[in-house]
Amino acid sequence: MIALVTILIVIAAIALVLIVLVQNSKGGGLSSGFSSSNAIMGVRKTTDFLEKTTWGLAGFIMVMSIVCVMMRPKGSINAPATQIETQQPLPAGTPDMSTNIPANQGTQQTPTTTPEN
């Protein structure tokens, strides 16, 4: 079910990108090509339709994102921590490549001497 919601979000995002690209920031865009034929839809109604579609798709993406988060299994948050705990120890000849700093290193400070003039 999450896959279906994710696919719907991707389709809506692609449609949103295409509709935004059709619009012109100065009021031209798709409506400028139909300026001579105002009988069917009119120039103003074309821009209103594109604006309402943009807001509708943006709202749809937001709602579906919230639905996708609510449908997520609750145990998936702790999955990486259990993988770390169940790792097998390395064989004896393998060098330690971990990035953990032991507790006694890193806390020691070397004394600084100031040169006396």
In tens, the pLDDT along 4-28 reads 999 999 999 999 999 988 887 665 5
Question: Which tokens is 108 given?
Answer: 């020691």
The overall pTM is greater than 0.85: no
Kindly state the average pLDDT of the residues 79-98: 64
The closest of 10, 20, 31 to 53, measured between CA atoms, is 20
> For residues 56 and 13, what is the distance between their CA atoms, to the nearest angstrom?
11
What one-letter code names the amino acid at 35? Answer: S
The closest of 52, 27, 49, 53 to 40, measured between CA atoms, is 49
| Alpha-carbon separation of residue 79 from 20, 23, 24, 74, 87 (angstroms) | 39, 44, 46, 10, 13
Mean pLDDT of the chain: 74
Q: What is the CB-side half-sphere exposure of residue 82 using CA atoms within 13 A?
A: 5
Say which residue, 93 or 41, is predicted with more confidence. Answer: 93
What one-letter code names the amino acid at 114? Answer: T
Question: Which tokens is 90 given?
Answer: 């390395």
Percent of the chain at pLDDT > 70 equals 53
Q: What is the DSSP letter of 41?
A: T
